[in-house]
């Protein structure tokens, strides 16, 4: 069995090594790539003999782990078990193989409380039929970091109810409630660092979407939310289409993950020009002590 070591990236060369490893798989691991580019809390699984990379992951104790392991070996399993034996996980986010590997290697006392499963969809520009109700729809890109603090504050005020509703419905486990202060901070950060779009129907805010990860050549869409009164009227379709077309003009591809059970969202994204791939994604939530 080849021995592997888990090494925290601290030097520029280590982040370059992690970037080079993940880059061919960036559409699968866009969130992880953003962590690497930001030189965040990134770890490498390194072969002790060859110094080759077997996997990369983002980790913060007591919070989340975002792994990418394209191949599984006994040496990798043992290295992960040794690393995780005294660590606490809140959730695991990754492709099915990587997430399942982390779950199998996690400390034995932790129990999974909830599993959510997703499909990866990728944008392929093609003509689409605009929903008749969306003909009066206005898609607006928020000014974000190009605007002053006062304008960003107004945009955040407008979007905050949708942000909280999205977090409650799509992100948190069923036993949790949103942390309003934290979500306000997250929204304001997104307005500064990501591309955020809003949909106005008859001058009323109907929905929102944004990038939640920006890699080298790929962006990942997230935070898509349509107010219940406007669902079924082409809002989500128009939002993600506008975002993906803007990114295509910048030379970037666009991907998103959609819950396997959300058939209406899958239909909307398909109409917008996204196509399902064979990649499946999982979020595993652990029971809190």
Between β-strands 64-68 and 253-259, what pairing exists: parallel, antiparallel or unpaired? Answer: unpaired
The pLDDT-based confidence of 129 (bands split at 50, 70, 90) is low
- Residues 145/193, Cβ–Cβ less than 8 Å: yes
Exposed/middle/buried for 251, CB within 10 Å: 0-12, 13-18, 19+? Answer: exposed
**Would you tell me how many other CB atoms lie within 10 Å of the CB of residue 118?**
20
Q: Which residues of 93-103 are buried (b: 16+ CB within 10 A; e: fewer)?
A: bbbebbbbbbb
Q: Please indicate, yes or no, whether the overall pTM of this predicted structure exceeds 0.85.
A: yes
How many whole angstroms separate alpha carbon 225 and alpha carbon 166?
6
The residue-averaged pLDDT of 102-125 equals 90
User: What confidence tens digit (pLDDT) does each residue in 147-178 have?
Assistant: 677 878 899 999 999 999 999 988 876 778 89
Look at residue 131 in the predicted model and tell me its pLDDT.
61
Exposed/middle/buried for 243, CB within 10 Å: 0-12, 13-18, 19+? Answer: buried
How many whole angstroms separate alpha carbon 79 and alpha carbon 76?
5
């Amino acid at each position: 069995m080849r021995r592997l070591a888990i090494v925290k990236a601290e030097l520029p060369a280590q982040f370059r090594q992690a970037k080079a490893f993940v880059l061919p798989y960036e559409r699968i691991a866009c969130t992880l790539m953003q962590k690497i580019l930001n030189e965040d809390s990134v770890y490498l699984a390194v072969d002790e003999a060859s110094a080759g990379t077997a996997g990369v992951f983002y980790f913060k104790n007591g919070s989340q782990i975002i792994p990418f392991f394209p191949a599984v070996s006994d040496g990798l399993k043992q290295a992960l078990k040794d690393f995780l034996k005294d660590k606490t996980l809140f959730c695991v986010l990754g492709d099915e193989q990587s997430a399942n590997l982390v779950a199998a290697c996690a400390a034995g006392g932790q129990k999974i409380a909830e599993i959510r499963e997703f499909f990866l969809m990728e944008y392929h520009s093609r003509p689409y039929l605009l929903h008749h109700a969306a003909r009066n729809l206005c898609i607006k890109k928020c000014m974000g970091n190009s605007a002053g603090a006062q304008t960003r504050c107004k945009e955040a005020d407008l979007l905050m109810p949708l942000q909280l509703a999205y977090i409650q419905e799509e992100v948190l486990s069923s036993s949790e409630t949103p942390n309003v202060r934290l979500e306000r901070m997250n929204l304001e950060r997104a307005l500064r660092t990501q591309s955020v779009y809003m949909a106005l129907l008859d001058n009323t805010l109907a929905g929102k979407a944004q990038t939640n990860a920006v890699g080298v050549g790929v962006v990942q869409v997230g935070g898509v939310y349509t107010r219940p009164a406007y669902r079924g009227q082409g809002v989500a379709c128009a939002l993600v289409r506008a975002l993906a077309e803007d990114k295509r003009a910048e030379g970037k591809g666009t991907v998103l993950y959609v819950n396997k059970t959300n058939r209406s969202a899958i239909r909307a994204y398909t109409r917008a020009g996204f196509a399902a791939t064979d990649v499946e994604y999982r979020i595993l939530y652990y029971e809190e002590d």
